[in-house]
Structures are given as C-alpha cells and as structure tokens.
A and B are shown apart, each in its own frame.
Chain A
Amino acid sequence: MSGIKKFFAKDGTKSVISSLISILIGLVFGAIVVFIVGMSKKTIGVKGAWEGVRLIFFGVLNTGRSATGALTWGFNASNLGNMLFRSTPVILTGLSVAVAFKTGLFNIGAPGQYLMGTLASLALALSLPSDKLPTWLIWIIAFVGAMAAGAIWGAIPGLMKAVFNINEVIACIMTNWIAANLVTWFFDGSAFCNVEEYGKTGYIYKTSFNNVATAKFGLDKLFAGSQANAGILIATLLAVVMYIVMNKTTLGYQLKACGSNRHAARYAGIKDKRNIVLSMAIAGSLAAAGSALYWLSGNTEFFWSTYQSLPGDGFNGIPVALLALNNPIGVVFAGIFMAMLNIVGMQLSNLTAYNEYITDVIIAVIVYMSAFSLVIRMLLNGRPKKEKAPKKSGKEAN
C-alpha cells in the first residue's frame, strides 16, 4: 500500500473526511435555501441570491462593498480576529459536551452551566475591589469561581442520573431553565446592572468598568479592530489538557470505561456513580470556563433578563462536539469553524437582505448529517451496505 492509500485507510482520516462531508452538505443546503428564497423574492433577485451564496462560503474573507456596490474580497483582520474571539466559548462548551459524550452522557445542560459561569464570573469580577487587589488576581478568581459554579451546576444532573437514574437529558433541560431563572433573579435590581450609561439598564456592566479584562497578548495588533484576546489560547490549552486527561490518565480511562459499558466498568471495580458525577462536573466547569472567557474579555455586555431564552453558545457546543467526533483537539477546529459561520451570519445580515439565522439552519443540517456519519463512513469504507452489520449507535435508554 502506498503512503497516500495508507493515510486514507486510517480511521482518523475517515472521521475527518466524514465530518468535512457533513460540513459541505450543510453549506450546500444553506446555499440552496438562500438561492431559492432569493429567487422567490423580487427584492433580492438573482444578483442578491448569488451574493448570498458567495458570502455563505467565503463570508469571513469579505471586506465589505466597493463604491460601486460590488462585494470586495481579501484579508479581513477584524473578521478573522472576531472569529477567534467568538470561537472561544463554543470551543469550551464543545469540549464540555465531548467529555460528557465520552462517558456516555448527553450534556444538553451546557447552556445552564454556561449561565452559572456567567453569573459567577461577572459577580466576582465586578464586586472585588480593583483598587486593593491586582486586576490579574481578580481575573483569576473570577475565572476559577466560574469553573467551580459550573462544576456544581453540572454535578446536579450527574447526581440525579447516578442516584435516581433519571435520564440526564431531562434533568439537564430542567436545570437549564432553572439556571436561566436564577441568573435573572440574581441580577434583577442588583448593583451590577449598568445604570451609568444611558439605556443600558438591561445589561450588566462590562468587566472593564472594574478594570478587569483578559490580556491581549498582542492578538489585538495582529488582528486590528477585532476583539481577539488571549482567551483562545486558554481554550486551546484546556483542550490539550482534556486530551491528555482523557487519553493518557487513569481517570480518563475510567470515565471512558463507564461510557462504554457502565455495568462492565462496575464489575471491573470502577466506581461508576462517582465517575458519572465527576464527568458531569468536569463538563460543567468547562462550559462555565467558556462563558467566563467570553464575559471577562472586558468588551462584552450581558443581557440579564434571560429567563425566557438560553444562550446559543451553550447549545452550539453540541454540533461542535459532534463535528469533532468528541476528540478534544478536533473540538478546537470545529469551534473555529462554528465561529466562522457566526461571522458569515453577521456579514449576511449587514450586507444583504438575508439574516443571520441561515447559519443556524446550516448548523442544524450539519448536526443532522452527523447523526448518520455512520452511513457516510460506511460508504467511505467502500463495502456494500448489506455486508456491514449496522453498529448499535443508540445509547442505552434511560
């Protein structure tokens, strides 16, 4: 077998290719929707539809419109920098979902954990006195506090699963809404609401009001005019740490063993209940770390009356984890891709008659496609369908 053939025969390569195919199908579907909608609407027409399609694929490299109204292309520093900044929270929520998946748990509770992280990080960063403590210490306290809050919040559905055998999906969904209500309750009428700037009482102060902000590490110079900061480096570091923990340590081995077969793991002397709670706590702390990195950046404002909606970054962790096939390193790339779609959505709504929700449609299609990544990989294997016994992919009910 030649080198190239060997490379394509690897399982890892096939996984990457099947993810790429999912992405491609998602983008093409989005482009088709944009095209059909454009054609059926007189105000958009062929020209507008074609612009929309091009933006979907290459929006991140768009530099706006020229004087004649044509789209211009090139290196867009602020877009790319914002892409890195926006990818920080989704990388970490994706990591959160991926780690739980490895233990056989579907952590749909990332939005709630994210919100609890938001609460802890903002409350700590804004209430600790910056004239007495060094701001970097406040930043670290807020970051660690957020992770602790997320860990506790994640452990709740874990406990319910371990002790009462409640389906973690339901428990997670309930804790999500409880978190959304708690956060609203906590901030409602508190001293954290921004009353200094006109019309901003619906928002919490930026952490820069207390001189707390994530270090830039020169990324703001590299990507001029963007929000890029060291958060992306911290997220990548956490991904590497999780990769090592999951693949090279006893703890990771035990967690994965519980995920593969809880009963067999218990038979082998692994404490399955402890590991389920631990896995959810780790997942929770990761999701909360994502929110801390987002809100501690110093230039983001949190809309606190959130009891009727959950943060999209929490849910977007699910497609990120699925795209990355639960590989912590893959999560970094999938997260950056997801952030790229986010930028594309903003470009679409700024430059054309379309709106940013088309990128959510694309993400949903990608998730749907990844549900049958099994089939795609089967086709890649080139075996006839009938020979291959379908793997059991549904996880154990309840």
Chain B
Amino acid sequence: MSFLIQQTLLFMVPLMIVALAGCFAERSGIINLALEGIMIFGAFIGVLFVRIMQEKEVFEAAKSAGRWGSLQFFEILAMLIAGLAGAIFSLLLAFAAINLKADQTIGGTALNMLAPALVLFLVRIMVNQNTLMMAKGDAASWFMIKKSTFGIDKKTDIGFLGETLINKVYIATYICILIYIILAVILYKTKFGLRLRSCGENPQAADSLGINVVKMRYIGVVISGFLAGMGGFVYALTSSNCSANGDVAGFGFLALAVMIFGNWKPLNIAGGALLFGLFKCIAACYSTLDINGDGVFWLAEIGISTHVYRLLPYVITLLVLAFTSKQSRAPKAEGIPYDKGKR
C-alpha cells in the first residue's frame, strides 16, 4: 500500500503542478498549449545544472560526508533553476500571444516543437547520445530521502505513515504540494488573484477599473512557465532518474486535460491529478503492485494485457471529458488577444 501511494504521488505531483501552471495562464486569458515544451526545457536545464554542479564538485564534500541537508538544498536549487528556465522560455509564448496578438494555439505548438528539438540537438552535441544523465551517481543516492537519512536502520519498522511519508521519497514532492496550496490560495483569496482571474474573464472591464491587462497576462504566463519548468524537472528527477531526453511522455498534454477536467479550479484539479496519477501508476507498475500486502499480485494475475493498462489513462481522460464537458466552464476571454477597442 505504501508503494502504491508513493508511486501514485510520483505521477500525481508533476501532473498537478503543471495543471496548475496551465490554470494560471488560462485564468489570465492565455491558452498555454506549450506546457509540454516548457516541461521538457525545464527538465533539461535542471538536469544540466545538476550535472555541471557535480562536475565542478560543489556538493561533493556534502555528499561524501553524508550531509543530507545540503543535498536537499541542492535539489531545491535545481528545482528553482528549472523553474526560472521555464519562466524565461514561456516569455516566447507571452511575447507572441500578448504583444503580437498571434494565434496562441500555434505559438504554443511552436514551443512544443522547439523544446524537444533544441534539447536533443544540444544533448547530442554535449554527450554524443540522446540522454543527458547525472555526471555521477543516481537520483536515489543523491537526493532520495531514506530511512538511513535519519539514521534509522533499514530493517526497523517505522509504522505505516513513516514508511509512506519519509522512506524513499523526494523532498520535491512535498515542496510541490506546498507551492500548490500557496498558489491556489493566492489565486482565489487575494486581490492579486482576483485581478488575474478578471483578465481572463473580461479584460476590457478589468482595464476600465485600472488593471494593467498586459502586465497581468505576462505574470500569468510567467508563473505558468515557472511551475511547468519546475514540474518538468520534478518529473525527470522522480520518474526518470534525473535524466533529460527531450521527452516527458505527454505529461504536459495530460496536465492540460486534467486542468479542463478540473474545471480550472485548484481543488478539482488536484482530484483529477490523483485519478490520472493512479491510472498512470497502475499502467507503469501493475505487475509488481501488491495492494493489500498479502504477496498476491492480482492485477498481474488476472491476465489483462499490458497494453490495456497503458491505454487506460487516455481512454479514461476522454470518457471523463465527455461526461463532464457539459458543466465545464472555461475562462471566457481565454485565447482571445486583448484588444482595448472591443467591447
């Protein structure tokens, strides 16, 4: 059970944070189709940062002395760098969509094509293969929090909660959840959040009340880029052993679907992310999933093909969208370039 919860969290958290990223952009009135591309770019820069730091042996002493606090700081720093990279990358979308009033779907598609191409081009030139890995060690030995981190012996039982929450986890997961809560509150309970949302509903009215629509939309897109870039790195760190290969397995698009399914509301988005995280987790590791701990892997034993499990997340997304689309309400001004003269 701990294993199931932890694995679900690994898939759920990047989805959730990236879906919130999409939410911030769309609430301000810009469709951010580029989430996938921004994630790829953020993951690349984050991994590159980790690699460079390792090559320069900045955290080498902390690693050999086992000072896990410094290593966690290292991880958080990499998340920040990845987020900043995502924010800068998303400025390309903001410029095209806000200043040049270009078609946002096409701009987003352009970034989605640019990110993997650029990343693969650079990675291939740098390391002569298609995957950029850490310079030494792996994500588990550098960043993962384990029992031994707290000086507890491997065989000691620390109870269900302990096993689930502090054994074999990444601090990134908890930081993302924290950021998610803070930003959700900001979006819904503060003056700034209200202003941001008003730009996505009726920018002309917002402008007439003295809100700078262009600035607000820029902020929305940049926050979105930051979260997506960070989410991309968190995905790379926790699910693909801190490596970048110009691919995040369609997570950016899945996050978009989660956002629509969650009706552009943080709480619903978290619920949607949980659902898809669970199905993604089942698809990835159904054969080793021992749900109630009795040593029976019944998901593997009922003999359904692997392909069915791999299909499930996408089919369910479509079905859920079909059933929920009647109540779904997108921000009204989303996708429409702001034009002062229009009513």
List residues of A whose CB falls within 8 A of some B CB.
33, 37, 41, 106, 108, 160, 164-167, 169-171, 173-175, 177-178, 181-182, 184-185, 188, 307-309, 315, 318-319, 322, 353-355, 357-358, 360-361, 363-365, 367-368, 370-372, 374-375, 389-390, 392-398
Contact = CB atoms under 8 A, between A and B. Distances in A.
Nearest to A355: B124
B325 A41 contact: no
Given A170-B257, A315-B113, 12 more contacts: A167-B260, A174-B318, A182-B311, A308-B249, A318-B109, A354-B125, A361-B121, A367-B113, A368-B111, A371-B96, A394-B31, A397-B334
Given A307-B310, A360-B113, A173 B253 contact: yes
A357 B109 CA distance: 17
Interface string B83-123: 00000000010001000111111110111011011101110
Contact of A355 (B31, B125, B250, B331): B125
Nearest to A374: B102
Interface in B232-260: 247, 249-250, 253, 256-257, 260
Given A181-B314, A374-B101, A390-B101, A365 B114 contact: yes
B33 interface: yes
A164 B336 contact: no
Contacts of A353: 125
B163 to A, nearest CB: 31
A108 B109 contact: yes
B330 interface: yes
B286 to A, nearest CB: 15
Contacts of A318: 109, 113
A156 to B, nearest CB: 8
A185 B307 contact: yes
B113 A364 contact: yes
Nearest to B316: A174
A37 B121 CA distance: 10
A173 B109 CA distance: 12
Contacts of B322: 160, 164, 166
B158 interface: no
Contacts of B111: 364, 368
B326 interface: yes
A357 B120 contact: yes
Contact of B305 (A174, A185, A308, A393): A185
Given A182-B311, A361-B121, A368 B339 contact: no
B256 A170 contact: yes
Nearest to B125: A37
Interface of B is mostly: helix
Interface string B202-222: 000000000000000000000
A138 B255 CA distance: 43
Interface centre among A174, A361, A371 (most CB of B within 10 A): A371
Interface string B306-343: 01001100110110011001100011001111010100
B318 A368 contact: no
Contact of B325 (A166, A178, A185, A389): A166
A211 B305 CA distance: 33
22 contacts: A33-B121, A164-B322, A167-B260, A174-B257, A174-B317, A177-B314, A181-B314, A318-B113, A319-B113, A354-B121, A357-B120, A364-B113, A364-B118, A368-B107, A368-B114, A390-B101, A393-B337, A394-B31, A394-B105, A394-B335, A394-B337, A395-B335
Nearest to B95: A372
Given A174-B318, A397-B334, A106 B105 contact: yes
A171 B103 contact: no
Contacts of B116: 360
A177 B117 CA distance: 20
A158 to B, nearest CB: 13
A37 B102 CA distance: 30
B321 A364 contact: no
A171 B315 CA distance: 10
Interface in B256-306: 256-257, 260, 305
B196 to A, nearest CB: 17
Nearest to B332: A397
A10 to B, nearest CB: 23
Contacts of A108: 109
Nearest to A179: B314
A164 B125 contact: no
Contacts of A355: 120-121, 124-125
A170 B322 CA distance: 11
A372 B96 contact: yes
Contacts of A171: 318, 321
B307 A368 contact: no
Nearest to B107: A371
A374 to B, nearest CB: 7
A169 B33 contact: yes
Contacts of A374: 100-102
Contacts of B253: 170, 173
Contact of B106 (A165, A322, A358): A322
Contacts of B247: 308-309
Contacts of B125: 37, 41, 353-355
B307 A397 contact: no
A306 to B, nearest CB: 12
Contact of A372 (B102, B118, B307, B334): B102
A166 B321 contact: yes
B110 A367 contact: yes
Nearest to B102: A371
Given A170-B256, A390-B339, A188 B307 contact: yes
A97 B180 CA distance: 37
Interface centre among B103, B250, B305, B331 (most CB of A within 10 A): B103
Contacts of A364: 110-111, 113-114, 117-118
A56 to B, nearest CB: 12
Contact of B311 (A106, A178, A322): A178
The 6 lowest CB-CB distance pairs between A and B, nearest first, are A360-B117, A364-B114, A368-B110, A185-B307, A397-B335, A364-B113
A365 B247 CA distance: 19
Contacts of B336: 392, 394, 397
A134 to B, nearest CB: 35
Contacts of B96: 368, 371-372
Nearest to A175: B318
Contacts of B257: 170, 173-174
